[in-house]
Amino acid sequence: MILSYQDNQLHMEEVALATIAEALGTPSYVYSKRYLDEAVEQLKSAFAGTPTKIHYSVKANSNLSILRVMAAHGCGFDIVSGGELSRVVAAGCEPGEVIFSGVGKTVEEIDYALKLGIHCFNVESEQELNRISERARNLQKVAAVSMRVNPNVDAQTHPYISTGLRENKFGVSAAVAMQLYQRANEDPHLNPTGIDCHIGSQISQTEPLLEALTGLLTLVDDLERQSIKLEHIDLGGGMGIQYKDEDPLDIESYGGGVAQILGGREQTIFLEPGRSLTANGGVLLTRAEYIKPGAEDAPNFAVVDAAMNDLIRPALYQAWHDVLPLKSAESACAKTWQIVGPVCESGDFLAKDRELPIAQGDLLAVTSAGAYGMVQASNYNSRGRPCEVLVDGDTFSVIRRRETISDQLRLEREQL
């Protein structure tokens, strides 16, 4: 347990979260190093029977300190932009440990990745393969490529995070993939080294993931018969976690199922976890600015200083995040609250219909905020983005300072 009440104060590891809030202000993102360490090692253990390489998905949480924690455990990185590649480099990590995903890679991004010598491009279309070939030829490089296959497998998740169906924009069909492999195999500036799929996020059952793997292996065998031997099979990420009462993916069962289906094949399995390694290792601290009790049958509103620009998941996905008071007050009278932010939108809420004792000035922790929180934060309403903090045992450190209005204005000209 990284979160626990000790002497009526909510702690992360051995640090009282109220201490961080009072020292650094709110809103603030706070992450547990212990959680990150344990999550990576648990995943490695689940796949211990299979040659496996973890490539942490940078889009989940791209703070440089988080990247360094992942690298310390031997992880590579899965990126979807040139900016994320720059972050990996700035964190002191090896470009050769990077795989580049995403449907819209620009010429500039491809050139940057080729010059740095990344491990592999996950190719999502015929035109992208042509572009990578052209840029590799111009730079006198050989680009390692892996075709992202869309297996038409239903991940049974939220439609915004489903990626493995025909109607999704990602990847190519198996038939098109075969053509692209043949094309790449004949190109002196391309080296087909792997095959890739990613069917969605927040997957709670192993069956869709194993079904996708089975489909990939059919392609792998067909390619071998054409003398195209692949080095790795990339299963993507999408391993579901528990936000409320969902069943998280059983990673032990997943790892065992993968080992059984592979049956001793030589290819290395690549995994691209993001959320499953960081989400439940982070919280967003916020303070109640105003309390608005409802008249008659109207709802009660607790207006806090965090908003949809800080954590957009509830507004965007109708996502559920638990909300915990930083000070335990079991004897206090609880009411049902709509926990909302100060942004000028009716959709600006962090939680709805929560039974909590809340008074003006109280500090709260929005849980499961370690993934897709800070990375999706914005400056809407000219609000500065929160600071980020890493807890390690009984100490904490600022790993990104709070953004100021000066930070926002410095990119704008004073006059035309």
183: exposed, middle or buried (Cβ count in 10 Å: 0-12, 13-18, 19+): middle
Which helix (DSSP H) or strand (DSSP E) does residue 66 occupy? helix 64-72
Beta strands in 358-400 (DSSP E): 363-366, 387-392, 395-400
- Residue 177 · residue 147 · CB < 8 Å: yes
- Residue 96 · residue 72 · CB < 8 Å: no
Half-sphere exposure (CA, 13 Å, Cβ side) for 53? 18
| Alpha carbon 84 to its chain's center | 12
239-259: burial string, b at 16+ Cβ within 10 Å, e else = bbbebeeeeebbbeebbbbbb
333 is catalytic: no
- Residue 162 · residue 236 · CB < 8 Å: no
Q: Which among 120, 197, 344, 387 is annotated as catalytic?
A: 344
- Active site members: 344
